[in-house]
Amino acid sequence: MPVQPIRLFGDPVLRSRATEVVDFDKELRTLVRDLTDTMMDAPGAGLAAPQIGVGLRVFTWYVDGELGHLVNPSLDLSEELQDGPEGCLSLPDIVYDCRRALSVVATGFTMYGEPVRIEGSQLLARAIQHETDHLDGVLFLDRLDADSRKAAMKQIRESDWFGVDRPTVRLSPHPTRGLGL
């Protein structure tokens, strides 16, 4: 399957809530393969569909030699927390300590529509939470303390990739009655 371009910070798709998957068809299986190939090529510990411009609730992960995917995830988080370094393929070279639940029980579906339950802790728990956040339009930057977020934003503004290939916003030629640009 082809490796897809990864959307970078600033792309509106990264701030939009993804839509629930309702069709477990060939197109979904192709999406999961594209996500997997793109994640492995990057390489990364996880990749969510919005990161390749697809607004569906699907992500893949590769942690400790385990490759997996989850469709329409629902998470049950532990009360116990962990702090640790976190980065994102949509924010190249940006890594900051981020607080997450230590363990997670994730339920959802496989690409074939079969129910699945994933239990993980440490890095797998972090990856599942991070990718599920992407499906809700949340970036790990949003979970940083104020000082770290400020430092990360400065680092982003100074990066070589920031502002490159920004999406073009087109204005509607039709009256929008204040409902759009």
C-alpha distances (whole Å) from 26 to each of 17, 30, 111, 114 are 23, 6, 9, 15
119 is catalytic: no
Q: What angle do CA 97, 100, 157 make, to 5 degrees?
A: 40
Q: Report the C-alpha gap between 127 and 63 in whole angstroms.
A: 8
Instruction: List, in sequence order, every residue forming a beta bridge with 119; answer none if it has no partner.
Output: 105
Active-site residue identified among 27, 80, 86, 131? 131
Nearest to 40 by CA among 61, 26, 18, 24: 61
For residue 43, cis peptide bond before it (omega within 30 degrees of 0)? yes
* Residue positions annotated with a catalytic role: 131
